[in-house]
Amino acid sequence: MPSPRFASDNVAGAHPTVLEALVRCNDGPATAYGDDPWTRRAQQRIREVLGLPEAAVWPVFGGTGANILALRAVTHRVDSVVCASSSHIANAETGAPELVAGVALVLVPQVGGKLTPEAVRAALPQRDGDHRPRPRVLSVAQATERGTVYTPDELAALAEVAHAHDLLLHVDGARLPAAAAALGCSLAALVGEVGVDVLSFGGTKAGLVAAEAVVFADPARAPDAGRHRKQITQLASKQRFVSAQLLALLEDEAWRGWCLHAHDRAVRLAEGLAAVPGARLAAPVETNAVFVHLPAEVRARLAARWSFETYDPSAGLVRLMTAWDVTDAEVDALLADARREAAPPRSAE
């Protein structure tokens, strides 16, 4: 079977620090459904690191569940969510925003996965009325589905546009720690300091087992978030085990080192692939994703040993992901295979 190592950062195991935290919180009983010391500490720590001192924080265990809770708690069924055409909520959540949150999605053209204020303005309806859903949320991903990151200035500009049109800015932060690590900034610089209203804070892709959180900067915007969380089956009965993971991620900025490790291996992988005959990088590496064009024959032979996502078969565009536990040896092994498959066949003597 092909190795799944570079197929996604979801294939990585849990960081040892996280496992240790789970063992520690397993000592004795604790009140269920989030009324426990770990959850209270995690909620407070998340407020601190995001720069949102008054925020409501709701731990969950699934990334799609986090996005659905975030959108459902601040919208009505007559509302719409404006998002990039490449967004995860539009392309990889099986219609859950429409079915479970009950909102329409307005897809906006993107460049490298990112939206611009101009594109958002152009996508908003020019007139109001009962014949079209009401735009309520602007949703962006950080990092994006194309591995790019929004700078603080770019997020602030999008927040300004959203708020000027009475929209809330939602960030799908499944890889928010990776983005902050790559930019060398704090988490707050990408959330509280730029005007984010609703955040799906991701931990699983950074090294946790199954732990995310939904954060509402103004709790009054989502007064029934707790009931929504229960209704969409994202309330864990033994929630201390979710919260303990989030604490482990945030303690002493552990996330930064874990994500920088993945980023550095992605850079090493990209630099090696750039030297493979016939290969062409689609874009510079900004987080832990490498997008590269590979010749069809190289792609086919490489797929026998390594799993990866093919984004555009006609252009030979594939995505390879690194994670906190990828080693240099694994990167070099894939590169060696790529070079061998790209090498011209030897002529018979």
Type of residue numbered 29: P
Q: Which residues of 43-82 are buried (b: 16+ CB within 10 A; e: fewer)?
A: bebbbebbbbeebbbbbbbbbbbbbbbbbbbbbeeebbbb
Give the chain's mean pLDDT.
96
What are the pLDDT digits (tens) for 122-146?
A: 999 887 788 889 999 999 999 999 9
Kindly give the residue spans of alpha helices, DSSP state H, lying in 51-172. Answer: 63-72, 88-91, 96, 117-123, 152-164
Name the fold adopted by 14-253.
Aspartate Aminotransferase; domain 2 (3.40.640)
What are the pLDDT digits (tens) for 208-266?
A: 999 999 999 999 999 999 999 999 999 999 999 999 999 999 999 999 999 999 999 99
pTM for the structure as a whole: 0.96
Task: Decide if pLDDT at 346 tops 90.
Answer: no
Residue 173 confidence class, pLDDT cut points 50, 70, 90:
very high
> pLDDT value at position 128?
79
The CATH homologous superfamily of the domain defined by 254-342: Aspartate Aminotransferase, domain 1 (3.90.1150.10)
Locate the domains of the chain by residue range: 14-253, 254-342
